[in-house]
Amino acid sequence: MKPSRDNESYYDEFANWYENERHDGYHAFIDRLESDLILPLSPNKDVLEVGCGTGLILDKIQPVAGRAVGIDLSDGMLEGARKRGLEVYKSDACSLPFEDETFDLVYSFKVLAHVEDIDTALAEMSRVTRPGGKLVLEFYNRASLRYAAKRLAGPGKISKKTDEGAVFTRWDTKESIVERLPKELVPVDWAGVRVLTPSAGFHRVPGLASLLQRAETKARDHQWLRFLGGFLVIVLEKRST
């Protein structure tokens, strides 16, 4: 089904609800799994988050990075990030407002699946990365329990009147991700976030939540389980061309 509205207005509306359940439980755990992939790569580096939202992850990176910058297309999301004192700019992923080779590390979580012109976004993120730098990019994974659960349950609500079906969403495979990479970006690692959790509601069950978190932490970097993550993360290195 064709999305009913543009991404900017969708995320402006989502911003009003975005942090309602993100400071504990399932969402905080997923943010921790993701930020733990970025933190070891960030000390004293110039870092860019593409699609920073209200800055929940960027706020964890900023204290260790040399410079931590975020972009987002939603004024509503950026308002939350600015309240955290973060350096953020309004932009979409396909037209980054930075000079070539500005950053040592570029990362993006839960955003690229909603960028229809993904090839342009990948080229832009590569352009602003220095040779030898890293990109950590997350995609929605068709080969996952999360995909199956979404197909069965349908789109979730993001406000009283709008659900996830209102925004463009693409589900990739490992192979389709690799095929579309710019030639200068070389895969060096993978991770899988939310491998074993079909629905976020399982993390609200007493006892089960702690078991799931331990299992998900191990599965994220497991040799083959990681490729079943609902959020599939590829780590890339930019080589000189």
The structural domains of the chain, ordered by start, are 7-238 (3.40.50.150)
Q: Which residues contact 9 (CB under 8 A, 6 or more apart)?
A: none
Q: What is the pLDDT of residue 9?
A: 66
Write the pLDDT tens digit of every residue in 15-28: 555 566 666 788 89
Q: What is the pLDDT of residues 94-128, one digit of tens each?
A: 999 999 999 999 999 999 999 999 999 999 999 99
Residue 152 φ then ψ, to 5°: -75, -45
**Which alpha helices (H) appear in 100-173, and where do they start and end?**
118-127, 145-153
User: For residues 241 and 229, what is the distance between their CA atoms, to the nearest angstrom?
Assistant: 31
> Can you list the alpha helix ranges (DSSP code H) found in the chain?
7-14, 25-38, 58-61, 75-83, 118-127, 145-153, 174-179, 208-220
Q: Could you tell me the pTM of the whole model?
A: 0.91
Contact (Cβ atoms closer than 8 angstroms) between residue 136 and residue 79 = no
pLDDT for 153 equals 77
- pLDDT on residue 2: 36
Q: Up-side HSE of residue 98: CA atoms within 13 Å toward CB?
A: 29
CB 61 within 8 A of CB 43: no
129: phi then psi, degrees, rounded to nearest 5 = -95, 135
Angle at which helix 7-14 crosses helix 75-83, to 10 degrees, equals: 40
Task: Name the nearest CA neighbour of 110 among 25, 213, 16, 22.
Answer: 22
pLDDT for res 199: 85
In which residue ranges of the chain is pLDDT below 50?
1-5, 158
Q: Directed axis angle between helix 25-38 and helix 208-220, to 10°? A: 20
Angle at 185 between CA 179 and CA 186, to 5 degrees: 80
Pairing status of strand 129-140 against strand 231-238? antiparallel
CA distance 111 to 87: 19
Task: Tell how strand 87-90 and strand 129-140 pair up.
Answer: unpaired
| DSSP annotation string for 170-213 | --B-HHHHHHTS-TTEEEEEEEEESSS-S-GGGGGSTTHHHHHH
CB 230 within 8 A of CB 195: yes
- What's the pLDDT at 207? 86
